[in-house]
Structures are given as C-alpha cells and as structure tokens.
C-alpha cells in the first residue's frame, strides 16, 4: 500500500515555506501511523488556480508509473482552487488513487455540490465513450455493408496477436475515400480495425497521396511528349 505526498503553497514568502515544511512533516508522520510507506514526496510553490504546475505533473506521472493508490494532502485546497481543484481530483479518481486529507483525518470528503459536479463529469465522459463506440460501429457498418469495403482483403498485418498498428494504412484510406466515406468515418472505421489515427493525419496523408499521383501523371505526360 504505497503512498505519495503532495504539499503546495502559493508563494515563496518565508511563512509559506514554513507551511510547506509543516505539511510535509505532518503527512509523513500520518502515513507512517497508517502503515503506508511513502515512496515519493512532491512539493511546490505555485498558484492553485493554475493547472500548469511542474509538481502536479510529477505527481500524476509518479502515480501512473508506480501505480500508487494513496495520496496524502494537507487539505483539498492543496490540490488546487476552484475548477482546477475539481479537475485534479477527477484525474486522480480516474487513476484509482484515494485521497487522504490531514485536515479531515480521513479519506477526502467533498462538499455535496463538488461531488455532484464530479459525478456529472464522469457521466459525460462515459456517454462520450459510448458515442465514440457507436460512431465506430456506424463507420464500420457503412464501410462493410453499404460501401462494399472488405477489411479482410484490404487491411494488412493481420494475425499479429492484437498488436497495435502504428503505421498509416494509406491504401485503406484511399479505398475508403473512393467509397465516399468522410474523413471522420474513415477515422472511426480504421480505429475499429486497430488503427489509432487522427482525422488530421488521415486528411494530410490522403492529400499527399493525391498530390503524388498528380505529379506522377504530369511526369508521365511530359515524358510521352
């Protein structure tokens, strides 16, 4: 049950530095009392309204890397102020990290309004994932059924044990464009077949392909004169 400590103050004034030290000492002792070894301590002097904090970045990175499940803080305002605080707490919840508040002497308990906001955010993200999955399904159905696209014939690198494909399948992009699929539908269709490619990449590579083909045709025409 490894834990991590996050201590923050807003300025570099002397009294703030003293507060930072006090936060660290209190949290280390509390974690030891609970039998949770602290693997890292992150301290920083930065405004809580700003999400672009180096210490916050290190905190989230360490939690992901070491799969830390417990975070110790002085109080919820150390994570941030206003909307920034809720954004940080939401990310920590997604990482499965429990937050312990020294001020409350227990796992962090938010106000009813804040809990409601976080619940709404989580619900919206869940609905967005469902909509994306449905979009992928629609794209695949249109490509396979309505437009006659055959993934078994066109997609390469089959049988790789589910290994993520990082190359850009230009042949498949061209084939789908010829079937009159939109760029968004192409992105959704290829994602369903294991390719994680953005709309901008699809558009750029298709444009490059068209320009290349036009250049070849122009060269062939000039050579034939």
On the 0-12 / 13-18 / 19+ scale of CB atoms within 10 A, 112 is exposed
> Is 198 noted as a catalytic residue in this protein?
no
Torsion of CA 140, 144, 149, 150, to 10 degrees: 100
Among residues 10, 19, 47, 115, the one annotated as catalytic is 10
Tell me how far CA of residue 170 lies from CA of 183, 187, 203, in angstroms.
Answer: 13, 12, 10
Structure-block tokens of residue 223? 């050579």
Listed in sequence order, the residues at least 6 apart from 220 whose beta carbon sits closer than 8 Å to its beta carbon are none
Token readout for 21 is: 């030290």
Residues designated catalytic = 10
């Amino acid at each position: 049950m490894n834990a991590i400590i996050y201590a923050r103050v807003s300025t570099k004034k002397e009294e703030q530095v003293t507060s930072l030290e006090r936060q660290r000492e209190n949290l280390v002792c509390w974690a030891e009392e609970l039998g949770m070894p602290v693997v890292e301590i992150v301290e920083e002097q930065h405004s809580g309204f700003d999400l672009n904090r180096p210490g916050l970045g290190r905190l989230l990175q360490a939690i992901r890397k070491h799969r830390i499940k417990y975070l110790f803080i002085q109080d919820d305002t150390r994570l941030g102020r206003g909307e920034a605080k809720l954004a940080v707490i939401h990310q920590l919840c997604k990482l499965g990290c429990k937050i312990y508040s020294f001020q409350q002497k227990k796992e962090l308990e938010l106000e009813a309004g804040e809990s409601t906001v976080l619940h709404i955010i989580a619900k919206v993200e869940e609905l967005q994932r469902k909509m994306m999955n449905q979009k992928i399904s629609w794209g695949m159905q249109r490509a396979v059924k309505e437009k006659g696209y055959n993934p078994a014939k066109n997609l390469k690198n089959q049988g790789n044990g589910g290994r993520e494909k990082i190359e850009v399948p230009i042949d498949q992009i061209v084939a789908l464009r010829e079937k009159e699929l939109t760029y968004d539908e192409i992105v959704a269709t290829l994602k369903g077949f294991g390719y994680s490619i953005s709309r901008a990449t699809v558009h750029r590579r298709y444009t490059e392909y068209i320009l290349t083909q036009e250049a070849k045709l122009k060269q062939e025409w000039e050579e034939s004169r």
